[in-house]
Chains A and B, each alone.
Chain A
């Protein structure tokens, strides 16, 4: 899933990888791939993650991981960092999700009564990146679908998600609802339909596998 999601990144893009699964995408990008990774705590041009022994105590990403720079990196304050986000300079962001609706609504910051650490930069990323894709397991730990007709949890942003990468499939959010694009090798279309909590538009020919 993560390797497949990495192929979503086109040469020349400015990309913000959300905390959690999306951070792992960087491991699947070739070393010489032309891309600028952004982290909202104030760095454009993120380099490889470093061990505690190699780390610079002043250089982290928004998830607290010790990262490095690449030739051409720049540091900036938090207002400048989100100016980039809100003014449309981010080509792509990859975010985690609790729920995604068939209209592309995203809920990923709060489970009332259980989990409410605050939204951080999530709303601005979801609302303002030019393209928002989600990386998530297809179902939650109890087996309930995360892709639903409508979100029950508090929203991060409305109608923001374009594509969803899961451990079963790649699914697009279209004006007509969820549309199956690809399936994971070994997963059947019927299994994806069963695990999805909203109607799934199927391709006319069997979908490609990843």
Chain B
């Protein structure tokens, strides 16, 4: 037996994204942000997107390109503090922003990727983040219902992959990637290196290729992946 091959080109994979899709994008700051897939989505031009991402990167980097191009109608996120452009777009009403507590966003995605309806938590009770949320009592304590999140497409950045789509991440580039890689109908991973089947040890796989639909190799990394000079 041999595991199937899912290698494709970045462009062919991104071509499947449609207007109005919900797109999850991995990354926390630069580490783990699939910069090349984002640029391909920019070139592809799909509009009216709902983007789910921890943060909005920084001006001129990562998903800031998609915000500036007007392709994003709605952003589900946790913190925009490093992107003044994103805050301006939110304040002027050009994009709708839904803020989540960071770990709750992670759990909503994990639930979506686990076939669950949502999670229960007491995070944010007594704050404005609880407004409008359903409350249920479990073991005598109130909990907010946090609905599961799924996407049409997830864009993932991995350090190493094999042709089946097994993925391994580096350092803090892991963040939301393994969670989002479980939570979309179509999971597209870019990898800094695609190695032959078996070269990525079964012990070192963070995301099994079962969750991954397409994997594409990155050539020379663009400067957006580099250390940010501040």
CB distance from B88 to the nearest CB of A (A): 12
B102 within 8 A of A: yes
Among the listed stretches B6-14, B37-45, B211-219, B222-230, which one makes contact with chain A, having 4 or more residues with CB under 8 Å of it? B222-230
User: Considering residues A40, A118, A154, which has the most beta carbons from chain B within 10 angstroms of its beta carbon?
Assistant: A118
User: Residues of A within 8 Å of B, CB-based: how many?
Assistant: 42
Asked if B103 and A85 make an inter-chain contact with CB atoms under 8 angstroms apart, the answer reads yes
B137 within 8 A of A: no
Give chain A residues whose Cβ lies under 8 Å from the Cβ of B179: 77-79
Cβ contacts B186-230/A at 8 Å (1 or 0 each): 000000000000000000000000000000000000000111111
Asked if B31 and A60 make an inter-chain contact with CB atoms under 8 angstroms apart, the answer reads yes
Give chain A residues whose Cβ lies under 8 Å from the Cβ of B228: 52, 64
Cβ contacts A134-177/B at 8 Å (1 or 0 each): 00000000000000000000111110000000000000000000
Give chain A residues whose Cβ lies under 8 Å from the Cβ of B101: 119, 121-124
Give chain A residues whose Cβ lies under 8 Å from the Cβ of B89: none
Which parts of A75-124 form the interface with B (CB within 8 Å)? 75-79, 81-83, 85-86, 116-124
Taken together as a complex, chains A and B put the C-alpha atoms of A169 and B98 apart, in Å, by: 38
B78 within 8 A of A: yes
Cβ contacts A52-72/B at 8 Å (1 or 0 each): 100111111110101000000
Give chain B residues whose Cβ lies under 8 Å from the Cβ of A75: 169, 171-172, 174
Which residue of the partner chain A has the closest CB to B111?
A79
Asked if B102 and A121 make an inter-chain contact with CB atoms under 8 angstroms apart, the answer reads yes
Given A118-B78, A119-B99, A155-B126, A82 and B107 touching (CB < 8 A)? yes
Among the listed stretches B63-71, B79-87, B146-154, which one makes contact with chain A, having 4 or more residues with CB under 8 Å of it? B79-87
B30 within 8 A of A: yes
Which residue of the partner chain A has the closest CB to B230?
A52
Q: Could you say which of B29, B79, B91, B97 contacts A119, with CB atoms under 8 Å apart?
A: B79
Supply 11 A–B pairs (Cβ within 8 Å), ascending by A: A58-B32, A58-B171, A81-B106, A82-B104, A86-B123, A117-B79, A117-B80, A120-B79, A120-B102, A121-B103, A154-B127
